[in-house]
Amino acid sequence: MLHKGDLAVSNEKFVRKFGIQMGSEKYNEIKKRLELLIERSPSQSIVNLHFDKGSSFLKGTLSIRSFSESFDTKSVGKCPMEVYSHLEEAIDYQLREWKRRRFFTNKGPTSVRPKQGTQFI
């Protein structure tokens, strides 16, 4: 689970966060991208990013939980940035689909309906 303290920039050479040890530069880059992803997520969401190191690959899971929605994805790769990029891309797709379902219908945005008696020229 991501906590407020996890978003602090690390100046240590190696950091053990998100389940694995990684260089602070990679950690800070992932953290910065994760912060931007959180901004695109439903309000009051809980975000969980975790990496597991296999024998020859790295496995990552990313989940976002809000009151009404859940977004989950998994990916594998050789390095944390590669895995995170795949995770972020998959979650972004899910978020775009959720926003499309939530805000749009076949006739356009559902939140922008004209008042009764409104005429368009």
Q: Does the residue 62 lie in any domain?
A: yes
Q: Does the residue 36 lie in any domain?
A: yes
- Those residues with Cβ within 8 angstroms of residue 43's Cβ, 6 or more apart along the chain or in another chain: 66
Q: Does the residue 108 lie in any domain?
A: no
Predicted pLDDT at 14: 47
Q: Does the residue 40 lie in any domain?
A: yes
More confident residue, 113 or 74: 74
Predicted pLDDT at 60: 95
Question: What is the three-state SS of 25-70?
Answer: HHHHHHHHHHHHHHHHCCCCCEEEEEEEECCCCEEEEEEEECCCCE
Q: Does the residue 75 lie in any domain?
A: yes
Q: Does the residue 26 lie in any domain?
A: yes
Give the chain's domain count. 1
Q: Does the residue 19 lie in any domain?
A: yes
Q: What is the pLDDT of residues 4-18, one digit of tens each?
A: 445 444 444 445 568
Domain that holds residue 36: 4-101
Arithmetic mean of pLDDT, 32-44: 92
pLDDT band with cut points at 50, 70 and 90 for residue 78: very high
Q: Does the residue 38 lie in any domain?
A: yes
Residue 74 predicted with pLDDT over 60: yes
What's 83's domain CATH number?
A: 3.30.160.100
